Chains A and B, each alone.
Chain A
Amino acid sequence: MKIVPVLDEENGCSSYIIGDEVSGKAAVIDPLKSVGYNHYILTASANGLTIRHVIDTHVHADHYSEAKKLSRETSLIPSMSVNTSAEFAFNPLAEGDTIELGFTTIRIIETPGHTPESISLLVTDSSRSSEPWCIFTGDSLFVGDVGRPDLVDSQQEQVNQAASQQFDSIFRKILPLQDYVEIFPAHFGGSACGGLFLSPKFVSTIGFEKRYNRFLKTDNAADFSRNLMKNLKPAPVTAQQIRNWNLGKSIDT
């Protein structure tokens, strides 16, 4: 398996090229408009990989996705959660679906919370083990932080519900993984989608976060939510506009 991080340091956004070096098949996860499709295609190619899937873990609220353009350039259609209300054709992904990249398999785990259509991607490399090796957590579990629940709908009741979903997603679906499983979130450092404690380091492990992520100290959902709310930054004013653009609801730029 190969994982090539493609980072936008200015905005704290992580995207990844993941592939199987034997078959040369790759997927791009959360491609960034700020990076541009050329870079993904040529970076994949430099690694002996060809892009076969373009996946967004969720409809981003802080940055523009390059998924549509990158898909068009590689004769693909983007893949997103089946729960996405996008206004363009996409390949719908649901809990338990798998994407095969040679010996590497991506399994879809629905992890709503940050947004209702958030998914995480659990990855196995069968040439090494049948056990999962890493997970792309999108904006659910971050390094040192968790994804905020208020960017889709800022009404208190909706935010509470999203926070409770985020708790379930993280505690019931992600943390039960083995401690050695690596996590690759969609953000690091100063991203608007995280808070004060979001680490500038883009990768961690389940075990390290379980032990040292301050939002995971409690396994009580109400305490988790309270903690989350207490640490919220003001929402970026463009959140709704960016989500709409990413959903194909506004004109392409």
Chain B
Amino acid sequence: MNTEEIKKLLQSENFILLDVDPPALYEEGHPSGSYNYPFSRFRWGERLKESLGNETPKIGVFASNQVTADSAASGIRSVGLDVDLIFSQGISAWQNMGLPASKLNKLSVDHLSSNLDKYRIVDVREKFELSSGIIPGAISIPMSEFQARMNAIPKEQPCAVICAHGNRSREVAKFLADSGYDAYTVDGGMAMWLYRGYDVEDPY
């Protein structure tokens, strides 16, 4: 498929592009508008079908290598869905074709600890997880309450989202960024913050 054909497909209604690479790679660069649905060998197609519910979109697969792309495509076909695009050459090739790419903003715990005044820190762990301590000045908005309480986050200030290991914060930071916030996920999460020996305070 050439650039124009892919562009046309991306703009067509009822088309979703799945980036099936691991989350950390998606974070570094992915086709704009794509969803990260990392391939796994266990019931991947079935789970995809379940999460699509009654919808039957046109589906595209994006990956950094042929093996992953082909495995994902056969996973999709195995549950009776069609695959309209398979792109297996990764993000550089995608960009070289003139196709749009995005990446997620992230921060290291080292950077955050020396720039605490710059960021509003949002800790999205559940209440029961906070006994290990929270970063001084962080606000706690558990992921389960996130949408109801996200208006507590000021839009004017860069926002550092943190969780236990960096998986939930990645999702939340992407959601916030898509909603117009200057949001960053903190790589490695509170586990890394504590491994590196930075201060926490009692949340209670």
Contact B67 A38 (CB under 8 A): yes
Name which of A44-52, A56-64, A131-139, A156-164 contacts chain B: A44-52
Name which of A20-28, A194-202, A216-224 contacts chain B: A20-28
C-alpha spacing A73/B38, complex, angstroms: 18
Determine the main DSSP class of A at the interface with B: loop
Task: Give the interface size bracket for B toward A.
Answer: 20 to 34
Contacts A48-B24, A50-B22, A73-B66 given; does A22 touch B41 at CB 8 Å: no
Within 8 Å CB of A44, what residues of B?
Answer: 22
CB distance from B148 to the nearest CB of A (A): 29
CB distance from A102 to the nearest CB of B (A): 9
The contact sample of 25 A-B pairs, CB cut-off 8 A, is A22-B24, A22-B188, A23-B187, A24-B24, A24-B27, A38-B67, A41-B65, A41-B68, A42-B41, A44-B22, A45-B39, A45-B68, A46-B41, A48-B24, A49-B22, A50-B24, A50-B25, A73-B66, A73-B67, A74-B65, A75-B65, A75-B90, A103-B188, A127-B188, A127-B195
- Whether, in the assembled complex, A128 has its beta carbon less than 8 Å from a beta carbon of chain B, the answer is yes
CB distance from B185 to the nearest CB of A (A): 11
C-alpha spacing A41/B25, complex, angstroms: 14
Contact B187 A45 (CB under 8 A): no
- Whether, in the assembled complex, B21 has its beta carbon less than 8 Å from a beta carbon of chain A, the answer is yes
Which residues A66-100 have CB closer than 8 A to chain B? 73-75
- Please give 7 more A-B residue pairs, beta carbons under 8 A apart, in addition to A47-B22, A50-B22, A127-B192: A22-B188, A22-B192, A42-B71, A45-B22, A46-B41, A48-B23, A75-B65
Count contacts on A: residues with CB < 8 A to the other chain: 22
C-alpha spacing A46/B40, complex, angstroms: 5
- Whether, in the assembled complex, A37 has its beta carbon less than 8 Å from a beta carbon of chain B, the answer is yes
C-alpha spacing A73/B24, complex, angstroms: 19
Contacts A45-B39, A48-B38, A128-B195 given; does A24 touch B25 at CB 8 Å: yes
Contact A45 B38 (CB under 8 A): yes
- Whether, in the assembled complex, B140 has its beta carbon less than 8 Å from a beta carbon of chain A, the answer is no
Contact A42 B39 (CB under 8 A): yes
Shortest Cβ-Cβ A-B pairs, 10 listed = A24-B24, A22-B188, A41-B67, A48-B22, A127-B195, A50-B25, A46-B40, A38-B67, A24-B22, A22-B187
Within 8 Å CB of B22, what residues of A?
Answer: 24, 44-45, 47-50
- Whether, in the assembled complex, B196 has its beta carbon less than 8 Å from a beta carbon of chain A, the answer is yes
